[in-house]
Structure 1
Amino acid sequence: MRSPTHDPDETSSLLGHQSQPPRSNLHLHRLKSHLTTPINPQHTELILLFCFTITGLLDSSTVFIWGSFASMQTGNTVYLGLGAMGADPSSTSRWYKAATSIGSFCLGSACFSAAHRWASSSSSSGGGSPGRLPRRWELCVSFAVQMGCVAAAAVMVTLYGSTGSSSSSSVMEKEENGIGWRVFLPLALVAFQSSGQAVSSRVLNRKALTSVVLTSIYCDLFSVPVVAGTGKRRADEWRRAGAILCLMLGVAMGGMWAKSSVGVMGALWMVVAAKGVIVLAWLVWRGDVHVDSGYT
């Protein structure tokens, strides 16, 4: 008895490509896997040290031009206290700016922290545990938001000329006349984003490198070797020393921008570029080898 025959086209159309997904889906899967992979924490302190340079660049230019710090809230708290008590007659607007910067920084800390907490709880692995490594997209989005805030401030300064340089009048005159949204709104945006750097240091478990304060770093740098009873410097001490040098480098650059005809506008656009470099760095940062990304 002759067995029935089948047309090869009938079976090939049903079985020939079942195990081969479309190429576009494969690329999307690779991209998703890349973005959701936790980063390798090794050498992440280099990014935070770079953030110290950004802090110095912003603070030196904003305090010189606008009369208020963008990141160093200790100094702003002093300005706020003096102004509230009427003990700073030389500037009637400085303490308003200080209050704006402090409030924006606190709001930013709450927002960035809540965003990282949400990302942690939505992770399929880690369950939001304190030791969980941040995923690549979390840090990319965080620094992209920071970059967007500084870019918005830079656009305002560029278009509306909110006391952009120190060449036309003295710093004191700028502080007196700088009561308005052209100063307060850019300052609020820059202070808001600066908190993202501090929150990132917590997420990366680099709590000593907040990138916004040096007092505790000075204390640890000179007290830890004495307490430990050894004159040798450990890696943490070298990182703290690097943080001081990086911030001083940023201060020098910010001072040059503030004294130039470009003013704070140049410093802001430089920070936008620096934040963009950090976003790209997180995109290509090596993933953690101990975590299964789900892609083979």
Structure 2
Amino acid sequence: MKTSTGDDQRQKETPSPSPSPKQYAVVKHLTQNIQPNISSELQLLLLTFSTGIQDATTVPDYHCFSSNQTGNTIFLCLGLVLPHLNGDVFVTANIGISLGLFLGAGWVTGQLSHIIGPRKRWWLFLCNFIQTCLVFAAAAVQYIHGTEIQGPQALSVIGLLALAAGSQVVQSRSLAMTEISTAMATAAWVDLLIDSKILAYHNRPRSRRVAFLLALVLGGFVGAFIYREVGSGTALAVSGAGKFIATVMYLFATAEKDCDEDSVV
């Protein structure tokens, strides 16, 4: 019987192929941390605009918000105390699924961000890509089944949008730009009004809040116009397109400098 000990030994001694410089560059690029800068602000504002479009369609269609959970929280309280208003002023099931999935998505994304790194390029790209797919899926449900205020189709659309929104709002914290929450406007209005330097020429936090509020209002107007003219399915598709652009931008966003580079004198 022939032995293969020599062949096995040579196979063990054969070194595995090392990554090519191109592969190494791709991996390094994807594992870099995104630098919070003007480009990141534009991405968050684009996401805010897309959020405004979504809420402008879910309120008239389903009597709830997909992103603004302040309103949903109050509606949920009303639904528990005044159930006879269900279906006219709000839909309790829709509000419950929106609030619950929003909080769940925010919790999962936030906790994983602590482990992975909140500003890792590949992580931000992946999160935004999944969110984009969820919004397009919601638009597809509306195109196929239409809109009904209650029922499985309504819960599907609201659930998909709430999952996307809950994951999305984590990004303003990840990028250290809490002035652009991408969804909730109340804190931005208050912080803007009480800013002691509201009229100062150089005031970045003030400028971010103003830009955020303008983007949210503009998204609301655009969403309402599209809803009136061609329907909510198209409005959600436009919102998804905006999120897709923001997703692609993460591939080209400026990275933070390495510690070694920062230490060079």
TM class, shorter-length? 0.7 to 0.9
Q: Is the 8 A contact 1:37 1:287 kept in 2?
A: yes
- 2: CA distance, partners of 1:187 / 1:91: 16
Corresponding letter in the other structure for 1:288: E
- 1: CA distance, partners of 2:133 / 2:49: 18
Matches within 5 A, 1:55-70: 55-70=51-66
Match of 1:202 in 2: 173
- 2: CA distance, partners of 1:90 / 1:289: 54
Corresponding letter in the other structure for 2:150: I
> Could you tell me which of 257, 266, 269 is aligned with 2:237?
269
Worse overlay, 265-274 or 111-120: 111-120
Match of 1:47 in 2: 43
Q: Tell me which protein shows more helix as a share of its residues.
A: 2
Tell me the secondary structure at the aligned position of residue 288 of structure 1: coil
Match of 1:288 in 2: 256
Match of 1:103 in 2: 100
**Is residue 259 of structure 1 aligned with residue 228 of structure 2?**
yes
Match of 2:33 in 1: 38
**Is residue 279 of structure 1 aligned with residue 247 of structure 2?**
yes
TM-score normalised to structure 2 length: 0.85
Deviation per residue, 1:38-81 (Å, 9 max, x gap): 12222222211222211111101110222111000111112111
Deviation per residue, 1:220-262 (Å, 9 max, x gap): 111012xx6x7425111111111111111000011012212x3
**Is residue 114 of structure 1 aligned with residue 111 of structure 2?**
yes
Match of 1:169 in 2: none
- 2: CA distance, partners of 1:242 / 1:100: 30
Match of 2:156 in 1: 185
Deviation per residue, 1:258-293 (Å, 9 max, x gap): 212x31101111122111101110001122234469
> Could you tell me which of 245, 248, 263 is aligned with 2:217?
248
Q: Is the 8 A contact 2:106 2:167 kept in 1?
A: yes
Tell me the secondary structure at the aligned position of residue 283 of structure 1: coil
- 2: CA distance, partners of 1:263 / 1:203: 34
Match of 1:154 in 2: 139
Match of 1:141 in 2: 126
TM-score normalised to structure 1 length: 0.76
Q: Is the 8 A contact 2:135 2:239 kept in 1?
A: yes
Alpha-carbon offset, residue 208 of structure 1: 2.4
Could you tell me which runs of 5 or more consecutive residues in structure 2 were left unpaired when the two chains were aligned: 1-16
Q: Is the 8 A contact 1:61 1:254 kept in 2?
A: yes
Corresponding letter in the other structure for 1:112: T
Rg bigger for which structure?
1
Deviation per residue, 1:128-158 (Å, 9 max, x gap): xxxxx61211110110111111122122112
Q: Is the 8 A contact 1:38 1:291 kept in 2?
A: no
Aligned residues: CA RMSD: 2.1
Q: Figure out how many residues of one structure are paired with residues of the other and give that number.
A: 242
Corresponding letter in the other structure for 1:138: W
Match of 1:128 in 2: none
- 2: CA distance, partners of 1:70 / 1:156: 15
Match of 1:173 in 2: none
Corresponding letter in the other structure for 1:29: Y
Corresponding letter in the other structure for 2:224: G
> Could you tell me which of 182, 198, 216 is aligned with 2:187?
216
Q: Is the 8 A contact 1:82 1:88 kept in 2?
A: no
Change (3 A) 1:231 1:280: closer
